Structure 1
Amino acid sequence: MVHKAVILGTGPAGYTAAIYLARANMKPIVIEGPEPGGQLTLTTEVENFPGFPEGIMGPELMASMRKQAERFGAEFKRGWVTSVDFGKPPYKITVEGIGEIESESIIISTGASAKLLGIPGEKENIGRGVSTCATCDGFFFRGKKVIIIGGGDSAMEEANFLTKFAEEVRVVHRRHELRASKIMQERAKANEKISWSLNKTPVEVLAKENKVTGLKVKDNETGTEEVIETDGIFVAIGHKPNTDFLAGKIETDETGYIIVKPGTSETNVPGVFASGDVQDHKYRQAITAAGSGCMAALDCERFLEGSASHDWSQSL
Structure 2
Amino acid sequence: MKNDRGSGLKMTKQYDVIVIGAGPGGMTAALYASRANLSVLMLERGSYGGQMNNTAEVENYTGFKTILGPELSEEMYQSATQFGAEYAYGMVESVTVQEDGTKIVKTDSAEFETKALVIATGSEYRKLGIPGEAEYSGRGVSYCAICDGAFFRNKKLAVIGGGDSAVEEGAYLTQLAESVTIIHRRDELRAQKILQDRAFANDKIEFMWDTVATEIVGDGQKVIGLKLYNKKTEVTTELPFDGVFIYVGSVPLSKPFLDLGITDENGWVLTNDKMETNIPGVYAIGDVRLKDLRQITTAVGDGAIAGQEAYKYLESLK
Unaligned stretches of 5+ residues in structure 1: 170-192, 206-213, 308-316
Q: State the one-letter code of the partner of 1:135.
A: D
C-alpha distance in 2 between matches for 1:223 and 1:16: 48
Deviation at 1:13, TM superposition (A): 0.3
Q: Paired residue for 1:167, among 188, 200, 216? A: 200
Q: Is the 8 A contact 2:162 2:182 kept in 1?
A: no
Q: Is the 8 A contact 1:9 1:32 kept in 2?
A: yes
Q: Which residue matches 1:60? A: 71
Q: Residue deviations 1:54-108, cap 9 Å, x none?
A: x2111111111111122111011111001110233211000112x2100011000
C-alpha distance in 2 between matches for 1:134 and 1:295: 28
Give me the identity figure in percent: 31
Q: Residue deviations 1:190-240, cap 9 Å, x none?
A: xxx9642625435269xxxxxxxx98321468876313699xx77342211
Superposed counterparts of 1:117-156, under 5 Å:
117=128, 118=133, 119=136, 120-123=139-142, 126-127=145-146, 128=149, 134-135=163-164, 138=167, 141=171, 147-149=181-183, 151=185, 156=189
Matched, 1:80 2:114: no
C-alpha distance in 2 between matches for 1:23 and 1:8: 18
Matched, 1:288 2:298: yes
C-alpha distance in 2 between matches for 1:244 and 1:122: 25
Deviation at 1:293, TM superposition (A): 0.6
User: The residue matched to 1:71 in structure 2 has which SS?
Assistant: coil
Q: Residue deviations 1:266-285, cap 9 Å, x none?
A: 00000000000010442111
Against the structure 1 CA distance between its residues 243 and 162, is the aligned structure 2 distance closer, same or farther, given a 3 Å change threshold?
A: same
Matched, 1:235 2:243: no
Per the normalisation by structure 2, the TM-score is 0.72
Q: Which residue matches 1:299? A: 309
Q: State the one-letter code of the partner of 2:39.
A: K
Q: State the one-letter code of the partner of 1:25.
A: N
Against the structure 1 CA distance between its residues 291 and 132, is the aligned structure 2 distance closer, same or farther, given a 3 Å change threshold?
A: farther
Unaligned stretches of 5+ residues in structure 2: 3-13, 150-156
C-alpha distance in 2 between matches for 1:28 and 1:131: 40
Q: Paired residue for 2:58, among 31, 35, 46? A: 46
Q: Which residue matches 1:91? A: 103
The alignment's C-alpha RMSD in Å is: 3.5
Q: Residue deviations 1:292-311, cap 9 Å, x none?
A: 1111111111111119xxxx
C-alpha distance in 2 between matches for 1:71 and 1:295: 19
Q: Which residue matches 2:191? A: 158
Matched, 1:218 2:220: no
C-alpha distance in 1 between matches for 2:225 and 2:316: 58
In the alignment of these two chains, the number of paired residues is 269
